[in-house]
């Protein structure tokens, strides 16, 4: 009995070590997307809840986010809904691909709409999930984007095409506005 006690102790310790290794494995893969989003947010410091308008990606101007699509103009809004609900509005091109998409804090996409559904103009209200803000009263449901996390990213994609060359698209791109509404 006395001889088996140290063996049991060693066995328990070995199990604890395995549990620690497994926990850190899952912690690493769970935390990585948050790290990526934070890195991007750091680069957008000073531009929270403000639209940023990107140029058409090329090898010189795009070395941050991998796999950029060179056929697109991208705009981003790095958002933080701690203090406000955001009203995002702008104009939609009619004959080239356009989309607005939203990503939660772990970079997972939770919302997307494109020009086939949204015609001419768009107006969205971005609020944290479960928000009871007065700013959302009388706003149609389809215009509200509920974010599962208070921080995240809105991404616009504009396809450069024969119908919409860069210059024309850039005008639409720069027409996007973000208004902070009281929470």
Partner 1 sequence: MALNQKIKKIALGLGLVLLAIVLGSGIGIYNIASGKSSSQRVIGNWQTVDKDKDLNTADLLTIAQISVYGTYALTKKEVIYLSTNTDSEGNAIDPKSDYVISGKNLDAKYWSITAYDQDGFLIKNPINTYSYNLETVKYEADSTSYKINLAASEKKENWLPINNVKKATLVIRLYLPSDALRNNLTVETLPTIQKVK
Q: How far apart are CA 149 and CA 106, in angstroms?
A: 9
* Number of other residues whose CB lies within 10 A of the CB of residue 166: 13
Q: Is 153 in the site for partner 1 (CB under 8 A)?
A: yes
Q: Is 8 in the site for partner 1 (CB under 8 A)?
A: no
Give the number of residues written for the chain. Answer: 183
Q: Is 156 in the site for partner 1 (CB under 8 A)?
A: no
Q: Do 90 and 53 contact (CB within 8 A), yes or no? A: no
Q: Is 38 in the site for partner 1 (CB under 8 A)?
A: no
Stretch that binds partner 1, among 104-112, 137-145, 166-174, 175-183 (CB under 8 A): 104-112
**Residue selected from 2, 3, 5, 58 as contacting partner 1 according to rule CB under 8 A:** 58
Q: Do 147 and 125 contact (CB within 8 A), yes or no? A: no
Q: Do 75 and 54 contact (CB within 8 A), yes or no? A: yes
Per CB under 8 A, residues contacting partner 1 are 13, 17-18, 20-30, 32-33, 36-37, 40, 57-60, 62-63, 65-71, 97, 99, 101, 103, 106-110, 112, 114, 116, 153, 155, 159, 161-162
């Amino acid at each position: 009995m006395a001889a088996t006690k140290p063996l049991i102790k060693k066995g328990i310790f070995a199990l604890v070590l395995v549990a620690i290794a497994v926990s850190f494995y899952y912690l690493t893969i769970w935390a990585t997307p948050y790290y990526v989003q934070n890195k991007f947010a750091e680069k957008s410091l000073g531009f929270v809840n403000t639209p940023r308008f990107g140029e058409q990606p090329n090898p010189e101007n795009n070395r941050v986010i991998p796999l950029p699509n060179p056929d697109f103009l991208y705009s981003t809004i790095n958002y933080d809904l701690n203090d406000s609900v955001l009203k995002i509005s702008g104009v939609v091109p009619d004959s080239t691909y356009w989309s607005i998409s939203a990503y939660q804090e772990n970079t997972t996409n939770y919302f997307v709409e494109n020009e086939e559904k949204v015609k001419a103009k768009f107006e969205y209200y971005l609020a944290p999930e479960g928000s009871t803000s007065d700013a959302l009263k009388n706003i149609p449901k389809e215009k509200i984007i509920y974010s599962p996390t208070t921080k995240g990213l809105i991404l616009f994609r504009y396809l450069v095409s024969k119908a919409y060359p860069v210059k024309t698209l850039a005008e639409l791109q720069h027409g996007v506005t973000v208004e902070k509404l009281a929470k």
